[in-house]
Amino acid sequence: MKKSLSLALVCLAIFPAFSQTAMIPSKEVQIKTAVMAAPEEKQADATVLGYHENGELVELKKGTNEMICISDDPNGKGFSVSCYASDLEPFMIRGRELKKEGKSFQEIFDTREVEAKSGKLKMPNEGATLFVLSAEDEDYNTSSGEVSDTYLRYVVYLPWATAETTGLPLKPSAPGMPWIMDPGTHRAHIMITPPRD
């Protein structure tokens, strides 16, 4: 069963607890597959975060551009990697911290909302994009890093944006139509989900 978009976004922001029974691909495979979500011209110089053999999320590769990529969570269902503009990193880090404290999704949302409004949590001033690439388990070879039949979708974070300020609907009325989620909040973002073949 394919991961829902909302679940994928939650996992990107907060990362679930790690199971010691999960098989962790090599550092090379994690880097190779993580950057697949980034635009081609940004892949080689992206920073990559992935999983240490003890399950801890660590930096696997220091990049030189603004792109940060996250390798597939060995505990997750299916294959899912993501890349996002570095302006989103404070938002992502704070989510991971709060999740580690045992906070629920709503508690994390509310805490970041308060902190973003106060200026404690720095959010992108002009928007920042998240790319998510997914596939089924059977289409991902954890030894070679080969992935087939992938699906790429996009999220553009525009803190505090609304349907009125962007002209976007609150839900899509046609396949692939952009729409805005969590309008008027720190987590306001444009969802772009191209139709699958």
Q: Can you tell me whether residue 93 is helix, strand or coil?
A: helix
Beta strands 67-70 and 57-61, pairing class: unpaired
Q: Cα separation of 194 and 171, whole Å? A: 14
Q: Which residues pair with 80 in a beta bridge?
A: 134
Give the pLDDT confidence score for residue 172 in this predicted structure.
94
Contact yes or no for 103/111 (Cβ under 8 A): yes
With H, G, I as helix, E, B as strand and everything else as coil, classify residue 146: coil
Task: Kindly give the confidence (pLDDT) of every residue in the chain, 197 residues in length, as a single tens digit, with 9 standing for 90 and above.
Answer: 444 444 344 444 444 444 445 689 999 999 999 999 999 999 999 999 999 988 899 999 999 999 999 999 998 899 999 999 999 999 999 999 999 899 999 999 999 999 999 999 999 988 999 999 999 999 999 999 999 999 999 999 999 999 999 999 999 999 999 999 999 999 999 999 999 87
pTM for the whole thing? 0.85
User: How far apart are the two ends of the chain, measured CA to CA in Å?
Assistant: 17
